[in-house]
């Protein structure tokens, strides 16, 4: 009797793990616009994906994060085939960030990068699923009119499209990337 209960428990656990994996896979997927048309996470199957949310007129956090990512990837080019790595930069400012300018901006930091844009409603849905926090801050005496306060995590996806890690401590980014590439 206890053996039958044990078998049932194992089956329930395995099925539950499978359901959790499917949810983990699908909950982070999206369709976005790029200069090349619509893309989804499936567009990049077979590639490691590094997803970052930011905006082009960000004065400090975004360029610092992208610069650190660029430096870390360059340092790892001997250990990793970087042709298998794409960076997906999702704008938090679809009103100001044109696709062409966005693509040019992100390619400045990494040549195999894509600037992605959503409409405002889709952006809110996707950021909620990722747990990205952002808020538009009015700037009364600025030509910009507003700034955007935002979280700055990088999301690492394996070649099959599963989220494997959220990197929020940029001090460990290079080590986190090295471990990510070695283990996935």
Distance CA 2, CA 23 (A): 31
* Residue 3, domain member (yes or no): no
- Count of domains for the chain: 1
* Residue 19, domain member (yes or no): no
Query: Two tokens at 178?
Result: 């090295």
Strands 154-157 and 48-54, bridge-based pairing: antiparallel
What is residue 13's predicted lDDT score, i.e. its pLDDT? 42
Ordered DSSP codes for 74-124: HHTTTTS-GGGEEEEEEES-TTT--HHHHHHHHHHH-TTEEEEB--HHHHH
- Number of other residues whose CB lies within 10 A of the CB of residue 130: 19
37 strand-pairing partners: 34
* Residue 11, domain member (yes or no): no
Q: For 164-176, what is each residue's pLDDT tens digit?
A: 999 999 999 999 9
Task: Provide the mean pLDDT of the chain.
Answer: 88
In terms of pLDDT, which residue wins out, 14 or 44?
44
What is residue 133's predicted lDDT score, i.e. its pLDDT? 96
CATH number of the domain enclosing 99: 3.40.30.10
Is pLDDT above 70 for 93? yes
Q: By the 8 A CB rule, do 46 and 148 touch?
A: no
* Residue 124, domain member (yes or no): yes
* Residue 18, domain member (yes or no): no
* Residue 14, domain member (yes or no): no
Q: For 119-166, what is each residue's pLDDT tens digit?
A: 999 999 999 999 999 999 999 998 889 999 999 999 999 999 999 999
- Average pLDDT over every residue of 80-91: 95
* Residue 22, domain member (yes or no): no
Q: Is 150 annotated as a binding residue?
A: yes
Q: Is 29 annotated as a binding residue?
A: no
* Residue 6, domain member (yes or no): no
Q: Is 108 annotated as a binding residue?
A: no
Domain housing 146: 31-183
* Nearest CA-CA partner of 170 in 27, 81, 49, 71: 71
Is pLDDT above 50 for 22? no
């Amino acid at each position: 009797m206890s053996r039958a209960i044990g078998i049932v428990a194992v089956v329930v656990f395995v099925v539950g793990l499978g359901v959790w994996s499917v949810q983990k896979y699908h909950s982070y997927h999206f369709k976005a616009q790029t200069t090349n048309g619509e893309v989804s996470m499936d567009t990049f199957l077979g590639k490691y994906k590094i997803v970052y949310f930011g905006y082009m007129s960000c004065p400090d956090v975004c360029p610092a994060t992208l610069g650190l990512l660029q430096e870390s990837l360059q340092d790892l080019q001997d250990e990793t085939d970087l042709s298998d790595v794409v960076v997906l930069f999702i704008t938090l400012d679809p009103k100001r960030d044109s696709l062409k300018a966005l693509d040019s901006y992100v390619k400045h930091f990494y040549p195999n990068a894509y600037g992605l844009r959503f409409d405002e409603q889709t952006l809110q849905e996707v950021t909620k699923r990722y747990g990205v926090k952002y808020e538009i801050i009015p700037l009364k005496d600025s030509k910009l009119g507003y700034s955007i306060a935002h979280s700055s995590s990088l999301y690492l996806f394996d070649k099959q499209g599963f989220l494997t890690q959220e990197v929020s401590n940029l001090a460990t980014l290079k080590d986190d990337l090295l471990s990510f590439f070695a283990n996935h």
